[in-house]
């Protein structure tokens, strides 16, 4: 039967060869994109693992070399910034001869020494020392090797100190081992230049799932190309005595030939796509050479899995023949999809809505349950609800039809709404991902761009009390040396310097509540204003993103019952410097603050959301763009294959209609309505659900107000839908050639 299957596949004429070629081409595209996605995931994992050592903490397992416990290494990690570029800084001090050594350097730097990455070394040499180099005490003793850098462009520095000095710094920890990988580092934060451990894992997993589903849909659609003609041919074999097993073997052979040819071509396509993929900065930083690679597991998964999936799809298409060979001739319709298919979609929306009403869930597990559980339910729900929505739309179209084309299209959609939806399911996923991601990211960017209001981008500050810590003696600075303030005021471009003191009237000073003189506050309008008649204001937390700090420059802080003279002796919570807004003055002010307070957190711009958050946003945005572009390509190919298959299966009915006098224009309208109705209907649902999911997530997790996407988003959606409609229109010439009188005569 295998030889017969090969003969029927390869020697059954031009139509059979064309069917195999088209199927192989579709499989090749799917395999090429699938391999590219796997290589991209491997590249991101490699990038993250090279930067895993930046996530070293007190919880990192000790090194066990030599069988003895190593001496501790004092470790303080922070993220500085230069011109919107994040700088990973690690301050270290060895406490003994056997302390662990960070990767990429020869030894732990001593006091007055530092190692820098090649990119940071070049940056330090290219700008004045007052803007960057003076932040790092001592001299450079070497460069960090590429094996310890997430990206060739990573800005990383390891600064050495005296152990007695560094051990007294707030936030420093003792470590006895270096984190080597992020695969088991679920307590890691956003420390490496390629994103945090668990967040990166979830984002990669979600992006892979969203991309793999359209790829599998494309392969399944291609495998079922001309399914109706094959069913008729296989049913005829059954009628002349072929057993179900023999028919299944022939179908498997035909699917395997196309699948193996497509897999081989897919590897060639992957090597071409890899050249383009190497230039995509998924995490905001380029991948290193060799990061985009495939493991043997990936290769075997594709080489074995794709043909198996194609064979399974071909066998699934024969289930009506297994019941009876006459089942094809009778065309017994399948049971229509029911309203129960809406349950997963509604459950996903309900889960996000629950957290939006109940508030942000506590703990990482609960947050992941909301994010992954809700979005996964919605994705699955859209795929399940699509056929039912198509059926409802086709019922409405058929009931209100006043033209033959509308009635025929509506009735045909009612006959098989699943097949109609299958062709556009990839585009539905792309639209949902685009709407949810751009809706969330656009709202975050819009909110952060308005934080602080006028001149907020010109103001830089160091806040000694963290967002969730109370300002007590351990987290505040007892006093600020006068020379430090005068040095900051003397920096070219610095226009004002304000000192925020700890508010002594509050026992629990959460969120960094402090007091400031109204005279100083008037000179730094980016952090707020005083109430009329006040001399001292009680100021809240004005850095970062929270509900209180959406527009600090527009905030009128309440009056404090203190005098300007009395607060001068209070501990200091923050130093704020207003500049003229030029990049050089901002960096000089930042450098001056780092020199004065080297271990109190890097200075940040008032309207900044922080370099770590910017990295994460850039990673999500770049990954979203890659997934969306790939999904649109796959969806367009699926739509084209499905329309071509539908026309091939309906050559005889359409040719008979033309012989009966039906104009070709009517048949074109039938094809257009059959494809456009589910496309537009489910696309609208996907867009609405995506924007709703983004709004609910923003409300529960970040407490941000949702903002409708801008013109770029709507232009992308309209262009994507227009391209899909253009693909439908491109099949019209094929319709004219395939429905001639000779088709009805020879069928």
Residues 64 and 28 in one domain: no
In a domain, residue 350? The reply is no
* Collapsed DSSP state (helix, strand, coil) of residue 140: strand
DSSP 477: B
Beta-bridge partners for 649:
none
Run of H or E residues at 583: helix 583-596
Residues 325 and 202 in one domain: yes
pLDDT of residue 158: 95
Residues 116 and 222 in one domain: no
In a domain, residue 42? The reply is yes
In a domain, residue 617? The reply is no
Residue numbers of the chain with a pLDDT score lower than 70: 1-2, 4-6, 8-16, 64-67, 182-234, 282-284, 314-334, 359-371, 444-457, 465-478, 506-513, 541-554, 607-636, 649, 701-704, 740-747
pLDDT of residue 109: 94
Least Cα distance to 276 among 69, 34, 467, 36 occurs for 36
Burial class (CB in 10 A: 0-12, 13-18, 19+), 347: middle
DSSP 467: S
In a domain, residue 704? The reply is no
Sign of CA dihedral 41, 46, 50, 53: positive
Residues 465 and 598 in one domain: yes
Last residue of a domain, one of 175, 204, 233: 175
Residues 489 and 592 in one domain: yes
Q: Supply φ then ψ for residue 509, to 5 degrees.
A: -95, 65
Residues 460 and 597 in one domain: yes
Residues 18 and 71 in one domain: no
How large a percentage of the chain has pLDDT more than 70?
Answer: 72
What is the DSSP annotation of 239-265?
HTT--HHHHHHHHHHHHHHHHHHHHHH
Residues 114 and 250 in one domain: no
Q: What is the dihedral of CA 6, 11, 12, 15, to 10 degrees?
A: 100
Total number of domains in the chain: 3
pLDDT digits (tens, 9 = 90+) for 489-545: 889 988 888 888 887 775 444 444 688 899 888 888 888 888 888 888 888 766 654
The DSSP bridge pattern shows strands 139-143 and 113-116 to be parallel
Distance, CA of 30 to CA of 38 (rounded, Å): 12
pLDDT of residue 268: 92
Output the pTM of the full model. Answer: 0.72
In a domain, residue 77? The reply is yes
Residues 106 and 45 in one domain: no
Helices 664-697 and 374-399 sit at what angle, rounded to 10 degrees?
150
500: left (phi over 0), alpha (psi -120 to 50) or beta: beta
Distance, CA of 361 to CA of 321 (rounded, Å): 52
In a domain, residue 228? The reply is yes
Last residue of a domain, one of 145, 175, 205: 175
Q: Domain span at residue 73?
A: 56-175
Run of H or E residues at 664: helix 664-697
In Å, the largest CA–CA distance within the chain is 105
Residues 208 and 302 in one domain: yes
Q: Are 89 and 144 in contact (CB under 8 A)?
A: no
Residues 97 and 82 in one domain: yes
pLDDT of residue 142: 93
Residues 132 and 202 in one domain: no
In a domain, residue 291? The reply is yes
Residue pointed to by tokens 């934080």: 451
Helices 611-649 and 664-697 sit at what angle, rounded to 10 degrees?
160
Beta-sheet strands, E only, within 378-492: 459-463
How large a percentage of the chain has pLDDT more than 90?
Answer: 11
In a domain, residue 410? The reply is no
Q: Are 197 and 100 in contact (CB under 8 A)?
A: no
Burial 623-658, CB ≥16 within 10 A → b, else e: bbebbbebbbbbbbbbbbbbbbbbbbbbbbbbbebb
403: left (phi over 0), alpha (psi -120 to 50) or beta: beta
The upper half-sphere exposure of residue 676, i.e. CA atoms within 13 Å in the direction of its Cβ, equals 16
> How far apart, in Å, are the Cα atoms of 211 and each of 31, 226, 408?
12, 25, 34
Distance, CA of 50 to CA of 195 (rounded, Å): 12
Distance, CA of 715 to CA of 572 (rounded, Å): 50
Helices 611-649 and 425-450 sit at what angle, rounded to 10 degrees?
160
């Amino acid at each position: 039967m295998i030889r017969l299957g090969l003969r029927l596949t390869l020697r059954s004429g031009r139509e059979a060869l064309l069917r195999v070629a088209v199927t192989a081409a579709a499989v090749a595209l799917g395999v090429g994109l699938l391999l590219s996605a796997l290589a991209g995931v491997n590249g991101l994992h490699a990038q993250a693992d090279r930067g895993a050592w930046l996530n070293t903490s007190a919880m990192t397992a000790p090194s066990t070399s030599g069988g003895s416990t190593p001496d501790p290494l004092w470790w303080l990690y922070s993220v500085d910034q230069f011109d919107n570029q994040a700088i990973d800084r690690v301050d270290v001090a060895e406490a003994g001869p056997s302390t662990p050594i960070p990767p990429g350097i020869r030894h732990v730097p001593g006091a007055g020494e530092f190692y820098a990455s090649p990119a940071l070394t070049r940056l330090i040499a290219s700008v004045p020392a007052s803007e960057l180099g003076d932040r790092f005490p001592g001299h450079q003793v070497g460069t960090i090797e590429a094996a310890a850098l997430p990206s060739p462009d990573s800005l990383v520095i390891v600064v050495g100190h005296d152990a007695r000095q560094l051990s007294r710094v707030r936030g420093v920890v003792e470590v006895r081992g270096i984190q080597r990988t992020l695969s088991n580092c679920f307590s890691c934060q956003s420390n490496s230049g390629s994103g945090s451990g668990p967040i990166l894992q979830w984002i990669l997993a979600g992006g892979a799932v969203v991309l793999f589903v359209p790829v599998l849909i494309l392969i399944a659609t291609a495998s079922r190309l001309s399914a109706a003609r094959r069913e008729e041919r296989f049913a005829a074999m059954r009628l002349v005595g072929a057993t179900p097993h023999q028919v299944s073997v022939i179908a498997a052979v035909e699917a395997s030939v196309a699948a193996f040819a497509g897999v081989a071509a897919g590897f060639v396509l992957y090597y071409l796509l890899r050249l383009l993929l190497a230039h995509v900065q998924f995490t905001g930083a380029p991948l290193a050479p060799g990061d985009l690679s495939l493991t043997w597991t990936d290769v075997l998964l594709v080489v074995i899995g794709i043909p198996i999936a194609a064979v399974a799809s071909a066998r699934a298409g024969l289930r009506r023949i297994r019941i009876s060979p006459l089942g094809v001739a009778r065309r017994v319709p399948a049971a229509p999809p029911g309203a129960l298919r809406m349950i997963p979609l509604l459950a996903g929306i309900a889960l996000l809505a629950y957290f939006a009403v109940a508030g942000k869930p506590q703990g990482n597990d609960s947050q992941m349950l909301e994010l992954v559980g809700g979005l996964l339910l919605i994705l699955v729900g859209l795929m399940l609800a699509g056929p039912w929505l198509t059926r409802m739309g086709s019922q409405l179209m058929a009931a209100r039809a006043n033209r033959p084309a509308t009635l025929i299209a509506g009735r045909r959609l009612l006959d098989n709404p699943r097949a109609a939806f299958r062709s556009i399911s990839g585009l539905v996923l792309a639209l949902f991902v685009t709407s949810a991601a751009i809706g969330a990211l656009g709202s975050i960017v819009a909110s952060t761009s308005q934080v602080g209001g006028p001149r907020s981008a010109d103001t830089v500050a160091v806040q000694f009390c963290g967002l969730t810590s109370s300002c007590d003696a351990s987290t505040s600075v007892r006093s600020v040396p006068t020379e430090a303030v005068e040095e900051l005021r003397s920096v070219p471009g610095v226009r004002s310097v304000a000192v925020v003191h700890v508010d002594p009237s509050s026992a629990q000073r959460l969120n960094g509540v402090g007091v400031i003189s109204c005279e100083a506050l008037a000179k730094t309008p980016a952090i707020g204003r005083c109430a009329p008649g006040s001399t001292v204001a009680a100021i809240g937390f004005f850095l970062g993103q929270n509900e209180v700090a959406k527009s600090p420059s527009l905030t009128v802080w309440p009056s404090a019952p203190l005098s300007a003279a009395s607060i001068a002796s209070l501990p200091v919570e923050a130093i704020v410097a207003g500049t003229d807004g030029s990049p050089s003055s901002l960096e000089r002010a930042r450098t001056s603050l780092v020199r004065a307070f080297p271990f109190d957190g890097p200075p940040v711009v008032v309207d900044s959301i922080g370099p770590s958050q910017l990295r994460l946003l850039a990673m999500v945005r770049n990954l979203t763009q890659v997934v969306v572009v790939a999904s649109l390509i796959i969806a367009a190919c699926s739509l084209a294959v499905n329309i071509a298959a539908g026309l091939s299966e309906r050559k005889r009915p359409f040719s008979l209609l033309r012989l009966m006098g039906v104009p070709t224009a009517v048949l074109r309208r039938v094809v257009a309505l059959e494809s456009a109705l589910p496309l537009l209907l489910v696309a609208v649902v996907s867009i609405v659900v995506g924007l709703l999911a983004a709004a609910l997530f923003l409300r529960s997790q970040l407490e941000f107000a949702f903002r409708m996407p801008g013109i770029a988003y709507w232009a992308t959606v309209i262009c994507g839908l227009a391209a899909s409609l253009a693909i439908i229109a491109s099949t019209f010439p094929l319709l004219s050639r395939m429905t001639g009188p000779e088709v009805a005569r020879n069928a």
